[in-house]
Each structure stands twice: as structure tokens, then as C-alpha cells.
Amino acid sequence: MAIIGQSQQTINAQLVEEFGEEDDFGEFDPSSLPRTGWFIDNDHPQLRASHLGDVLALDYYGPDYGPGWDALLKTLCEPEVARTLGSLRIGGPDQGANGSRIYMFEDVISSDVTFPNLSTLWIRPTDPGDHNCSYLEDGELEAMLSQMPSLQLVTLPQPLDLTKLKTRLEKLEYLECASTYRHYHFITGLAESDLFPALTFLDFGDSWGAWNSLQELAQGDVAATSFADYEKLARSVVGERMRGLRLRNARLSKAEYQKLQAIRPDWQFSVVLAPPHVYVSHWDKTDFPYEHLLVEK
């Protein structure tokens, strides 16, 4: 807790130096920050920690760059913190550049720390209304998970590339992979792997790529995952072990959804359609999935 507290003080000091002032008591004054700058009252980078018995829960809220992010990475690389963490949540405001919010964990991956007691990991997924798509660079997510062998509940901003995941997560029960512009062939990879022997529930977000063109992209992992891949998962040993599946943004027909349910009648199987928002100025350039909901006058 002392290390985490000192990290927050470092964040405050750097923000004061760059953007703000101290109040009469020598403490950081959030109201002094410029409201037209990147840092405003409601997105002042924060590290919050609490005790969960013998382990700690650590929450980071802030941008994916700057003093806050640097302090988070440095804190996670502290062996005492890494060893003690039981829960890690990483999120922040909808900020980024060129439509991207990129979480960079290279410092953690290149360190020799492991997180032996970390059971819960949550990295902020992209909301369909966000201006910026959240993701990690290729390979970083899989490398970081290899440092977390005890994970049980995981929420990620993108699907995993299972060809790059080298560690078997024996305890993983719940996995949520949110939608981005690619699906990394995750569904067919999962059907063929035994990396998650305890997995019971999958919440999977299919590629947004197919929603971003008036003509569906038909190649690679930006295309929608095929029904054949979903069927392969349903008939696999992995599918047999699972008790539930939630699909987001899949491009399947009513009959195909029903066929999957028929293959696995014991599944708790649900569907969420929440493709990314579309600017009105772009309606003639991209798929507009909500057009049928518009009022006709």
C-alpha cells in the first residue's frame, strides 16, 4: 500500500508541475488544472488500492499515457506489488489519438515480475459509442497473460491470438473478449486448443470490421467469424465443457443461432448486437445497423 500511495503522490507532483498548482496547504489542487487541456477534474489519473484479505485490489483510472500510465507500469513492476495483487482493473476516459487508445505494457512484459496471486483482470473494453477503439499491440496481451498463471476472471479489450499464448491458464473460468476491428481467428483457435481447461463461460465480441464498409469484408480476421467456426467450437471438447456463451456482433442468421443452441441445448446462450457507432456524415460510406430503428416521417 505504501508503494501504491507513493506512486499516486508522484502522479500528483508531475501534474502540478506541468498543468496545475498547489493549494494553501501544499497539496495538489485539481481545480487548478486547465479544463481545456487533456487533464480535467474527472480524468485526473488515479491509483486506488484496497485489501482483499491477504491480497490487494488495484484500480487505475486515467489516460493510456503520461504521468498516470508511467506510474502504473512502474508500480506493477515492483515485485512486492506484483506478488500481492489479487485483482487488477485498468480503465479511463474515452481518450486517444486517431481513433485509437493503445495500452502499452512493454515495461511489464520485459521485466521479470510475475503475478502469482492475480485472479481477476479487467482492462477497459471499447464501448460502442466510444470515439477511440481500445486495444494492445500484437502479441503484448498474450505475453502479459503468461505472467499471470492464476487468472480466473478476465475481461479484455480484444480477442486473444491463441497462436501467441504460450501459457496454459489452468484456473480460467470466465473470459470476456470485447470487439475491435479484428477477431484474431479466436473462435477456431479456441476450438482446437486446450489452453483453458477450466473455462465455463465465454463472452466473445466478433470483428467490427464487417460493419465498417457497405460491402462486408470477406477475408482475414477483419471479416465476421464464420458460422462454421462457431459450429466447430460448439462441437469441440472445449464447447462440451462450457456452460455458457454470449456472442456480440456476430453476423449470423436466426437459423444459425438456433442451430448452435440445438448443438448445445445445455448452454446459456445469448446474443448482443452492439456494433460501433456511426457518424451521421458517414452513413453513405459504412454499414448503418440501426437504420431500421429510425422513425419514418
pLDDT at 22 (0 to 100):
57
Distance spanning both ends of the chain, measured CA to CA: 60
pLDDT at 7 (0 to 100):
84
pLDDT at 19 (0 to 100):
62
- Report CA dihedral (104, 201, 264, 219) to the nearest 10 degrees: -10
pLDDT at 220 (0 to 100):
85
DSSP track, 160-189: --TTS--S--TT--EEEE---S--TTHHHH
pLDDT at 46 (0 to 100):
87
Cβ count near 168 (within 10 Å): 13
pLDDT at 218 (0 to 100):
66
The CA distance from 233 to 239, in Å, is 5
The DSSP bridge partners found for residue 200 are: none
Per-residue pLDDT of the chain in tens (297 residues, 90 and over written 9):
888 888 878 877 777 676 655 555 656 565 655 544 444 444 578 899 999 999 999 999 998 988 899 999 999 999 999 999 999 999 998 888 888 999 999 999 999 899 999 999 999 999 999 999 999 999 999 999 999 999 999 999 999 999 999 899 999 999 999 999 899 999 999 999 999 999 999 999 999 888 877 666 667 888 999 999 999 999 999 999 999 999 999 999 999 999 999 999 999 999 999 888 888 898 888 888 888 888 888
Q: pLDDT tens digits, residue range 73-105?
A: 999 999 999 999 999 999 998 888 888 999 999
Residue closest to 155 by CA, chosen among 209, 221, 87: 87
pTM (two decimals): 0.89
The CA distance from 27 to 8, in Å, is 12
Cβ count near 177 (within 10 Å): 25
Q: pLDDT tens digits, residue range 121-168?
A: 999 999 999 999 999 999 999 999 999 999 999 999 999 999 999 899
Q: Write the CA distances from 51 to 4, 48, 70, 91, 118, integer angstroms.
A: 12, 11, 23, 20, 13
The SS3 call for residue 253 is coil
